[in-house]
Amino acid sequence: MEGDDPAPTSMIDRVVRVLDTFDGSAPLSLSQVVRRSGLPRSSVHRILERLVAVRWLAREGRNYQLGLRMLELGSLALQQNALREAALPLMRGLSASGRHGVRLAVLDGAEVVYLERIEGPVENGAPARVGGRAPAYCTAVGKALLAYAGDDAVREVLRSGLKARTRFTITDPAQFVRELQRVREHGVAFEREEAVRGIACVAAAVRGPGPAVAALSVCGPARQLDFTRLSPAVQQAALRIWSATQARPSLPLRGSEGAPVGDWPTGTLDSWATWPRMTDWL
């Protein structure tokens, strides 16, 4: 590698150069990483030890190999790719049927991250670019995800604060908890101009009998969105995405709490889960 690429000029470039040396299954010694990366020995040693500390690498004696965190990140990337592949045809169908915007998102702490989107004819600045983030508490996808994420995830959101984005944003913790309870009862989440004025969304969780792995939403102008008509369509699409991902036995999906959610037959989406009331937190 030494003669193929220019010398890395930043720490990120050096870390990437070190990680790229692990291109096989065999562990590598410090000397081997130095030779393959073309970096100074002292720099390589510092980078290797830091990567071990954050679990990107593991050390056995004097040798290094890829760590569990790299495996986790790779599994997550595969999961997200499988979700997008399963979701895209259904997202296109939802968008075409009503000329609405459609989004697929996952939960990351107190925020949602958008994995895929199909833009509708009227977006009005709705913040949903692929890879973009938005607060979970004021988005339909966020509510759909948080409703099945567990107590700790909701507490994290409440600790972060429910800041008003518009005059319609739910900012009262007790009201927000009741909103999540309604999502669990009806299987669908609504956003009525809570994140962006003029935009409304309806969302459903992509899940089996456990935490949601993603959420799907349809969005459009608040005065034109037909919640009654769209709700069952979004729920059915979310269920079909879940069923499609479960048809891949080589890819065990994981919920937002990290536990494998396994393979379950169609029709068990909500019947296996009973969810405790959360009003005693407040």
What domains sit in the chain, N to C, each tagged with a CATH number? Answer: 11-66 (1.10.10.10), 74-281 (3.30.450.40)
Report pTM. Answer: 0.64
What is the phi-psi region of residue 278: left when phi exceeds 0, alpha when psi lies from -120 to 50, beta otherwise?
Answer: alpha
> Which has the minimum average pLDDT: 75-79, 105-109, 200-204?
75-79
Nearest Cα neighbor of 112 from 93, 88, 128 is 128
213-234: average pLDDT = 91
Helix, strand and coil content of the chain, in percent to the nearest 5, comes to: 40, 20, 40
Instruction: Give the DSSP per-residue string, 100-133.
Output: -EEEEEEEETTEEEEEEEE--S--TT----TT-E
Average pLDDT, the chain: 80
Q: Is 53 helix (H, G, I), strand (E, B) or coil?
A: helix
- Alpha-carbon separation of residue 34 from 2, 51, 53, 79 (angstroms): 10, 15, 19, 33
How is residue 54 written in tokens? Answer: 């954050």
Residue-wise over 201-216: b if at least 16 C-beta within 10 A, else e? bbbbbbbbebbbbbbb
- Predicted confidence (pLDDT) per residue in 146-198, tens digit: 999 989 999 999 999 999 999 999 999 999 999 999 999 999 999 999 999 99
